[in-house]
Structure 1
């Protein structure tokens, strides 16, 4: 009887953790297909929506290391529930948003904080609640749910936005959070291993503020009026991250508890695998932003159609991730990662070549699918390399570093490619204003910027000339954006080939970390 009860409690723990992962992954995908609706409903522009989307991943990236350490101070269960509560409050504010700033606070900030607390705790709870085959099974389930959420997220978001409202998506998330909290008593409590005095507060501030300022500086390049101040947060952010690294090394030499074990970066395989994974997350973050902008802004598709246009990538990621274990037993990780980077690179090159005035969604499918194939190969196998290098007591640090890279890469992808879209619009659309002799250069730039950011022309008299030029320039800018992606993926391909050969494959680590995809 006791064994049956323990089995039931075990299943409930797995369900609770899986629901949280499913919700967080969906949350990262469904908003991208609602860009045009958000611009209209919140009376904002594409630049602000880009900031909102990028800031969600940025918040998680900034706080992921702290979220991992708080488990040792507050406990895994309390950290998880604190994150769920903050996340739930964020969903309420986001659903009721009356302007873009309210959505930024509710979704990007509060939900981002909640996710940063929940995500590290989910893996720790599973690792501590199960062992042996049950642990492998539980991690496999969470991995499948994460991949499945990435597949259905754009469809759910597109359906609700097209036929109802994007606000309902946040309502559904709130229901899931309530279920998680109600059944959270089934989660086991784990012993505390740190005190508040042991927390590396200086390192926490340097890492969080450094990452945040770096990406914010890139986002400031969106608006011509903030170009002059953009370099400052970028430089300050880089300096703070450098200080963070040396601060961690100093603490470890003094036998003090660091925020993260930076000695892991001494291993070339660990460092290069993290870079390869960051590059792939840069790609997916950028692609999930620029393709919806093109599909809605140029092709005029609704959110549901936009979500369906991304399905080839999601399906490919799911299929290739599921086959990860078989590949890992036959091919060295460096070659698997190179194959994945090459597949994604071929998809990016295809997209950069096919974009023209008459490109349709069906024309893009092969390229989007190949991008997904590459991501589905790189995600689990890069994680395999990362965790095979880390010792058992370094696993939490490896997870924190990897999760920070995941969200930083996604945020950078949205920020950088979004900036490329806006800056790219200047080269062609500026011609529209060239015949206006009385207009200053600054006014021309501002006019082009505002014209692009609305995704549409509001003055009917301007449609024939300006709309055609806008469409042509958006096509050219998309080609340039995917040229940038191709260049970054080529770097990822080269980096993969420098990962050291492994003497022994560790297939089980793939299942153990795929839930971070």
Structure 2
């Protein structure tokens, strides 16, 4: 039992990192009310949290190499607790964004790369596969507990108690930190590449920001942007500028002796495929976990606790499936397990399309969510071990940074992209329905068209009805507009689920270089041909 004490500490930290993101997703409606804002603003706060983690995760891994992984693990937990405490007392939306999105995000960017490296350093062979299965399982437990705990507290007390409780949990982890053996000091002095940090953060930030704002700015034709570029929306220009900065980042890194990212690592096929799959997995999961609560709360009117209950099947099955990694490794290769997981995800996404109706079919929805959890759990049972086992000990921290960068970049783009697809599909469907509705007169149709062109928010139909009651629109036409809006909401949700199904299919293209042999009980390193290149082979 003594050998698993480090895993208890590290697994609890992993659970903590996942917990509050799932709380925020089921508390969207309450956050909108508490801060007198709209869904798009909360979407931005959620996206910013994962974006900060994605942008600084590689830096966090490098700091672990410089000053020690356990030390950065401790510092990250302290920063995370400060952010949690500030979030718990946040009086305004910008303070919420500062405490949760920025400070907690920076803390997590220090904790997670160190966590991945500490797990890999503490265990070998089948123990390592077991450890990563447990870490994935505890991430699933965070997803399981988050909606229920957050939903119950949000509905009957306040969501703020979750963040206050996180401070207490961090203190408990810090008290048990001695269970993690200190690693040896770095053999050579490592310097932080500040220019690389700035280029990577700016590039990633611009890309994600542009995708997030695409629903309100417009992709090409300007809808409601703060400015235009040659008469066009700034969305594609911002994405292009972000891409240029990332190209400059790569060029800068290739010329440095001590780069922030050694791009030679991407020559290791299992590592490259594993990172792409982690990106895809989190894009799908966080995109769905943003859209599904909107369906349950905004369209169907469920409170946060009822939403948490309906998310329970995905959480439970994800937890169970993610713990099966060592068992499945006896019968199938990681590549096979991941492909089965993708197939299950594809089927569940299509199933969810069929469940989007004005009234929820509880059994069908629960089965679709349970299937979704199985697919996610199968991926989680394999990918962490694939990534960390593809390199040697000296590369653990850097690869841990890459691992969580891929995950959180997928998370931020998932929330931003699937949210933008939802709003875009809602706007298009609402505009088409209003234009064709026989009970809406031409003057009202023109007035509605102007408002739709300026941008549509995802709000309860009752809120739209109340707003129309304050205008001069005749009651019969107001009812027709509300009816059109309700139908457009369902259409937008269906398009979002179809988009996740398409992304899942695209994920099959990234599986070709995943390990094709069952893991052995030796070193725990696997590759497409049973081994991977030595850590020294990928030159910087």
TM range (shorter): 0.7 to 0.9
Partner of residue 75, structure 2:
82
More helix by share: 1
Contact 2:283 2:411 in 1 (8 A): yes
Match of 1:505 among 512, 519, 523: 519
The alpha carbon displacement at 1:452 in A equals 4.1
Partner in structure 2 of residue 226 of structure 1: 225
Deviates more, 1:328-337 or 1:26-35: 328-337
TM-score (norm 1): 0.87
| Stretch deviating more after TM superposition (265-274 or 214-223) | 265-274
The 10-residue stretch of structure 1 (458-467 or 129-138) with the greater mean CA deviation from structure 2: 129-138
Matched, 1:36 2:29: yes
Report deviation, 1:146.
2.6
Distance 1:488 1:79 in 2: 35
CA gap 1:124/1:274 in 2 versus in 1, 3 angstroms: closer
- The residue aligned with 2:494 is 479
1:22-67 CA distance string (max 9 Å, x none): 2111122111000110001110100011111111111111111100
Number of corresponding residues: 499
User: Contact between 1:213 and 1:237, CA under 8 Å: does it hold in 2?
Assistant: yes
Change (3 A) 1:160 1:455: farther
Structure 1 stretch 198-207 or stretch 160-169: which is displaced more? 198-207
**What is the alpha-carbon root mean square deviation over aligned residues?**
3.0
1:114: which partner in 2?
107
Structure 2: distance between partners of 1:225 and 1:179: 48
Q: Cα distance, 1:288 vs. partner?
A: 0.4
Residues 458 and 489, structure 2, Cα contact 8 Å, conserved in 1: no
Partner of 2:396: 395
* Residue equivalent to 1:239: 244
TM-aligned CA deviation for residue 453 of structure 1? 8.3
Rounded Cα–Cα distance in structure 1 between residues aligned with 2:335 and 2:41: 39
Gaps of 5+ in 2: 217-222, 227-232, 436-441, 470-474, 527-540
Unmatched segments (≥5 aa) in structure 1: 513-517
Q: Residues 470-507 of structure 1: CA distance to partner in whole angstroms, max 9, x if unpaired?
A: 221111111111111111111112432x2366356246
Q: Which residue of 2 aligns with 1:491?
A: 506
Q: Distance in 2 between matches of 1:413 and 1:132?
A: 33
Structure 1 residues 123 and 499: alpha-carbon distance in aligned structure 2, compared to 1, 3 A threshold: closer
**How big is the shift at 1:386?**
2.8
Q: 1:460 to 1:336 in 2, by over 3 A?
A: same
Distance in 1, matches of 2:513 and 2:184, equals 37
Residue pairs, 1:52-71, within 5 angstroms: 52-71=45-64
Partners of 1:406 and 1:66 in 2: how far apart? Answer: 15
Does the 8 Å CA contact 2:61/2:114 hold for their aligned counterparts?
yes
Deviates more, 1:174-183 or 1:24-33: 174-183
How much does 1:102 deviate?
1.5
Per-residue displacement from partner, 1:195-223 (whole Å, max 9, x unpaired)?
87622222222222221221111111132
Residues of 1 paired with 2:518 and 2:446: CA distance?
70
Corresponding residue for residue 51 of structure 1 = 44
In 1, Cα distance between equivalents of 2:513 and 2:85: 45
- State the distance in 1 between where 2:319 and 2:117 align: 24
Cross-structure match for 1:464: 479
**Alpha-carbon deviations, 1:283-324, whole Å to 9, x = none?**
101010000000001111010111111111112211211222
TM-score (norm 2): 0.84
Compared CA separation, residues 398 and 129, structure 1 to 2 (3 A): closer
Distance in 2, matches of 1:285 and 1:500, equals 23
Per the alignment, do residues 309 and 343 of structure 1 end up closer, same or farther by CA in structure 2, a change over 3 Å counting? same
- Could you tell me which residue of structure 1 aligns to residue 273 of structure 2? 272
The alpha-carbon distance between structure 1 residues 249 and 380, as it changes in their structure 2 partners (threshold 3 A), is farther
Q: What are the residue-to-residue correspondences of 1:137-156 with 2, within 5 Å? A: 141-156=134-149
SS of residue in 1 equivalent to 2:463: coil
1-structure distance, mates of 2:497, 2:406:
21
Q: State the alpha-carbon separation in 2 of the partners of residues 90 and 198 from structure 1.
A: 27
Secondary structure, counterpart of 1:449 in structure 2: coil
> Counterpart in 2 of 1:515?
none
Q: Which is further off, 272-281 or 472-481?
A: 272-281
Matches within 5 A, 1:346-425: 346-425=347-426
| Cα distance change of structure 1 residues 508 and 48 upon mapping to structure 2, 3 Å threshold | farther
**Could you give the per-residue CA deviations for residues 51-92 of structure 1, whole angstroms, max 9, x where no partner exists?**
111111111111111001101223223312221222112112
In the aligned structure 2, how far is the partner of 1:499 from the partner of 1:135?
21
Does the C-alpha gap of structure 1 residues 218 and 509 become closer, same or farther in structure 2, counting only changes over 3 Å?
Answer: farther
4+ residue runs over 6 A deviation: 130-137, 194-197, 507-512
